[in-house]
Chains A and B, each alone.
Chain A
Amino acid sequence: MSDELEILKEVTDQDYKYGFVTDIESDVAPKGLTEDTVRLISKKKNEPKWLLDWRLKAFRHWETLNQAPQWAHVKYPEINFQDIIYYAAPKKKPELESLDEVDPELLKMYDKLGISLEEQKKLSGVAVDVVLDSVSVKTTFTKKLKELGIIFCSFSEAVQEYPELVKQYLGTVVPYTDNFYATLNSAVFSDGSFCYIPKGVRCPMELSTYFRINEANTGQFERTLLIADEDAYVSYLEGCTAPIRDENQLHAAVVELVAHKGAVIKYSTVQNWYPGNKDGVGGIYNFVTKRGICKGDHSKISWTQVETGSAITWKYPSVILKGDYSVGEFYSVAVTNNHQQADTGTKMLHIGKNTMSTIISKGISGGFSNNSYRGLVRIGKNAHNARNFSQCDSLLLGDRCGAHTFPYIETSNKTAVVEHEATTSKVGEDQIFYCNQRGLDTEQAIGMIVNGYCKEVMKQLPMEFAVEAQKLLSISLEGSVG
């Protein structure tokens, strides 16, 4: 019982774990980004000097970069980076008395997703009397992982508890000089997840940020580092299908994955951030750098993403295939509706011999949206017998949206085999009418047709995630035709 109480306390008093002594509500840095901001963030987090130095290097590099990259097929007003608050202590969410106070639009969405009442309350910040369900999940979960030597905690916690591991791997896959947003993230990252799977350990459950309920508020500049040691296996779920309303418009996250010899990392994302309203007002700008390295021979990294949210998505989960016989996979469904814009894809960088990569990308555009696939397959000169297969399909709903494909292939080795297939299709009125004639309304019909179209990708998702993701797809496309 006392254990339970302790966990309950830990969960309910979660703000305290950040360790601020000052008044939480007013703990906000002034607008703009200077060296002082970086120092403040590092100090607030009680970070060791090496990490501060790393942040500062990133900041100084960022100062030399004149502007954000312009090459993506997206349009948005220029961001004033000095008009952003880079540090705000996690604010206590305003606690609501009941679900009656929650935005009815949000509740409608929860219902459609089939989220239980208790969970609806949790997600929308309503005070929940009994969190025992999730607490018990959390307890068994933490205990089991500990037994296996698996580390799964917040990034800040890892910096304090496992500084050597963090120091060893941080920035090794996405260096702070990588790109404008990665550099920015390196200087000011707020928090995120850290995960380490020891040698030979097969993580017995899907690791999900969703279970780490105390991490719901990681903010704009999230940083994730995931290491699978030799012959380890892990399946990691990021995000959740429930809609998240966030006041921060700019998000620039970095995710780094390291797979040692024989290790397998499966990383699944469902992204459902606020896409803005029907007229394209508001919504999140999501500029993410995600990259994994297959460091050892016979290692494998597999990215699966279902992207339905954000006003702008700029995201290219990539794999560096360094080890011989390593395997990289990218399965993606990107949905844009109304005025959303997505420019997403992957990079498969073949370095080792007999490396193999697969790219399956399904873009779906409705409304006035624009959806681009951008991908690079590069075969290095020593990557003998490297193989790639890419399939990029676009599906159009209505005639006011756009689908674009920008595939790049660079090969420096004659033994490589690279295949690329692409299709563009429209949801036919014939298909919709056929479904209508069987009693399905048009929205159901589109949901069904689109889910069928994405099946190859959806089946890569863990089961319970897949079911919710299917519903999410249908919901995201509501009102996309006609």
Chain B
Amino acid sequence: MLSVKDLKASVEETAILKGINLEVKAGEVHAIMGPNGSGKSTLASVLAGREEYDVTGGSATFDGEDLLEMSPEDRARKGMFMAFQYPVEIPGVNTTNFLRTSLNEVRKFNGLEPLNGADFLKLMKEKMNVIEIDKSLTTRSVNEGFSGGEKKKSEIFQMAILEPKLAILDETDSGLDIDALRIVAEGVNRLKSSDNATVIITHYQRLLDYIVPDFVHIIYDGRIVKSGGKDLALTLEEKGYDWIKEEFGEMTEA
């Protein structure tokens, strides 16, 4: 589904990604872990198409198509979803309207009829059974005045509505208390199927107690330096990132 080869990217001339390789297939859950500043979130942003990042080398395909050539909205319409680390507030824009516009854009792109108001509300109600979310959030402005936990829940709720093929969760666990973490994780688990894939970007192991990954990758200084099964996350939790820095620090300095 997603195939990233030797991807390099920089911001204002500073190289951040220095050759990322990643293969994600349908039905898989990948966790990407790494210390602060290692390039985790940059990878998510580059995949979603954020303009501030210059791709300086390598390739990325999504369902066989050149991802890097697509506009961010087309990536979204083709089924890529990113749950933001810091969801943005849009004052005055009603969450329900925003979501309906969003879903209908995706549907339109894929040759489907737009959902009318009634059908959409039905769908929302259905999805509220999947993600525990306070109904009042959907009547408020997008993310405006939401608590950290509410913002993250709202992101996962949007994901439930849009049913993406590939979901990238960018540090979705940061700033969540244990209850919110559970709700978010349960939501992600319920949305999992053999047709879609999830990439979880996280600093800590704790989210992986709830969402069990098939693969764990450790990113350090712009490269994936180690890949393995879910045990790798536990090793990391036990030994901390210093272990990675010691083992790979020298190599990347050189």
Binding site for B on A (CB under 8 A): 428-431, 433-442, 444, 448-449, 451-456
Contacts and interface: CB of A to CB of B under 8 A. Distances in A.
B204 interface: no
Contacts of B76: 436-439
**Interface range, B side:** 20 to 34
Contacts of A439: 73, 76-77, 102-103, 105-106, 109, 162
Contacts of A435: 90
Contacts of A428: 88
B122 to A, nearest CB: 20
B88 A434 contact: yes
Interface of B: 48-52, 71-73, 75-77, 81-82, 84, 87-93, 98, 101-103, 105-106, 109, 141-142, 158, 162
Kindly list the 10 A-B residue pairs having the minimum CB-CB distance in the complex, ordered from nearest. Answer: A452-B92, A452-B93, A455-B92, A439-B105, A436-B72, A438-B102, A434-B88, A439-B76, A439-B106, A436-B73
B225 to A, nearest CB: 28
Nearest to A445: B73
Contact of B101 (A431, A437, A442, A448): A448
Contacts of B105: 438-440, 444
Contacts of B162: 438-439
Contacts of B49: 436-437
Contacts of B71: 436, 441
Contacts of B77: 439
A438 to B, nearest CB: 4
B48 A437 contact: yes
Nearest to B107: A439
Contacts of B82: 437
A430 B88 contact: yes
B94 to A, nearest CB: 8
18 contacts: A433-B72, A434-B84, A436-B71, A436-B73, A437-B48, A437-B49, A438-B98, A438-B158, A438-B162, A439-B73, A439-B76, A439-B102, A439-B103, A444-B105, A449-B90, A452-B92, A453-B92, A456-B92
A208 to B, nearest CB: 26
Nearest to A449: B90
B91 A452 contact: yes
A410 to B, nearest CB: 32
Nearest to B80: A437
Contacts of A430: 88
Nearest to B83: A437
Contacts of A436: 49, 71-73, 76
Contacts of A444: 101, 105
Interface of A is mostly: helix
The interface centre, meaning the residue of B72, B81, B106 with most chain A CB atoms within 10 A of its CB, is B72
Contacts of A438: 76, 98, 102, 105, 158, 162
Given A429-B51, A437-B82, A452 B141 contact: yes
B2 to A, nearest CB: 16
A453 B89 CA distance: 12
Contacts of A448: 90, 93, 98, 101
Nearest to B76: A439
Nearest to A430: B88
Contacts of B48: 437
Contacts of A437: 48-49, 72-73, 75-76, 81-82, 84
Nearest to B88: A434
Contacts of B142: 452
A449 B102 CA distance: 14
A440 B162 CA distance: 13
The interface centre, meaning the residue of B51, B75, B82, B102 with most chain A CB atoms within 10 A of its CB, is B102
A5 to B, nearest CB: 40
The interface centre, meaning the residue of B50, B92, B105 with most chain A CB atoms within 10 A of its CB, is B92
Given A437-B76, A439-B76, A451 B102 contact: no
A448 B95 CA distance: 11
Contacts of B102: 438-440
Contact of B93 (A433, A441, A449, A456): A449
A333 to B, nearest CB: 12
A431 B90 CA distance: 7
A431 B93 CA distance: 12
A452 B144 CA distance: 11
A444 B102 CA distance: 10
Contacts of B91: 452-453
A454 B92 contact: yes
A364 to B, nearest CB: 13
Contacts of B103: 439
The interface centre, meaning the residue of A437, A441, A442, A454 with most chain B CB atoms within 10 A of its CB, is A437
A454 B142 CA distance: 15
A429 B51 CA distance: 9
B48 to A, nearest CB: 6
A238 to B, nearest CB: 25
The interface centre, meaning the residue of B51, B142, B162 with most chain A CB atoms within 10 A of its CB, is B142
Contacts of B84: 434, 437
A440 B76 CA distance: 9
Contacts of A440: 73, 101-102, 105
B199 to A, nearest CB: 14
B51 A433 contact: yes
A434 B90 contact: yes
The interface centre, meaning the residue of A435, A438, A456 with most chain B CB atoms within 10 A of its CB, is A438
A438 B83 CA distance: 10
Contacts of B72: 433, 436-437
A269 to B, nearest CB: 21
A440 B52 CA distance: 19
